[in-house]
Structure 1
Amino acid sequence: MSLRSAVAAPFVGRGETRLAESEFVVALSLDRNWFSPEQATRLADVAVGEGLLDRTDDGLVPTFEPEDVTIPEEFVPSEELLQQRSTFERVIETVVASGVEKREAVAEINQLQSSLGVTVEAAAVLYARRRGVDVSDAAERALDDLDVESVDLS
C-alpha cells in the first residue's frame, strides 16, 4: 500500500483535519503499532518532502482529503515508505502509472538527458510533459534543484 494510505490513517482514525505532530506519531506508533515513534516521525518528514503533508505552527495538515483514501483493515505499511524518493523516482513512478513501460521511459529519458545536456530530473519532467503526464510537483522540485544563480537567463 502507499505512503498516502499510511499518512491518511491517523487523520481518518481521529476524524481530524489537523494533528499535532505528537498526535500523528502516537497514532502510527502506539494506536496502530505500525512504526516506532522515531519511524513515525521519519514518516512525517518523508510525507512533508513528498508534498502529502504541510507543517504549520500548530501541527500537520494533509494536502489531500484523507477520507477519500481507502485503508483496508489488514493494511500494514512497509518500512520502505520511510525512504524519501528522488524527484526522478517520483516522475518515473507517475509515468509508469500512466501506462508507459518503465524500461522504455528510462531509456528515452536518458536519451533526452544526453541530447539536451540537462539533469536527469529535468529530462524526466520534459519526457512526462511530452506524454501529457502531470508532474507539476516534481517539475517544481527539479527547478528548485537547479543552480539558477549559475545560469545566464538573459
Structure 2
Amino acid sequence: MSLRTAVAAPFRQAGSREMGESAFVVALSLDRDWFSPDQAKRLVDVAASEGLLERDDGELRVSFEPGSVDIPEGFTPEESILQERSTFERVLDALVDAGHDKQEAVAAVNGLQSELGVTIEAAAVLYAHRNAVDVQQHAETALGEL
C-alpha cells in the first residue's frame, strides 16, 4: 500500500519510530519532494485516521515497524493517498493484503449484505472475521456507523 510506504519513508530515514510532525512534513515535502507542505500535512491527517500514525502534542509515532516496509527504488506516491477511505475500502484492503482475491471478496461481501440486510461495512467486517482477517479497528468504526 503506497500510504504505508509514504508514511514509513521519513521514519526509516530518521531511524526512529517517533518524530516531530514538522520534521515529517519536511521529509516528505523538501527532502523527498513527494508533496507540498500542505499535502504532507494532509497525509498526516489521513495516516492518523487510518491508524498508521499516532499524534501526541506535535509528535508523531508510527504504529507499525517502518523497517518492514519495502520502499522501491524510484517510488513516488500517488496523490490519491491523500483521500480518506471508507471503512469498506479499508477492510477490503486488509482482505487483499491477507491474500484474498478482491473481486471474490467484494462479491461475497455484497452477498452477505443482501442476505443479512446490514451495511456494506458491517458485511465486510463479518466476511473478514469469518476468514480470520483481523479488522478489529475497522469493526469498531463500522459499529459506530450502524
User: What is the TM-score with the length of structure 2 in the denominator?
Assistant: 0.91
Hey, what does 2:128 align to over in structure 1? 128
Matched with 1:142 is 142
RMSD: 1.6
TM-superposed deviation, 1:48:
0.2
Q: Which residue of 2 aligns with 1:97?
A: 97
Unaligned 5+ segments in structure 1 are 147-154
Identity %: 62
Q: Which moved more, 1:36-45 or 1:106-115?
A: 106-115
Q: Give the structure with higher Rg (CA).
A: 1
1:68 has 2:68 as partner: yes
Deviations 1:55-103 (A, max 9, x none): 1114111001112222233111111111111110111122233333322
What code does the residue aligned with 1:74 have? G
Letter in 1 for 2:9: A
Distance 1:75 1:87 in 2: 26
**Could you report, residue by residue, the CA deviation over 1:6-52 in whole angstroms, capped at 9, with x for unpaired residues?**
10111111223222211111110001111000110011111001100
Measure the CA separation in 2 of the matches of 1:59 and 1:71: 23
Find the aligned partners of 2:121 and 2:93 in 1 and give their Cα distance: 13
Structure 1 distance, partners of 2:120, 2:66, is: 32
Query: Quick one: distance in 2 between partners of 1:70 and 1:54?
Result: 21
Number of residue pairs matched by the alignment:
146
Aligned partners of 2:37, 2:121: CA distance in 1, in Å?
33
Match of 1:14 in 2: 14
Moved over 4 A (4+): none
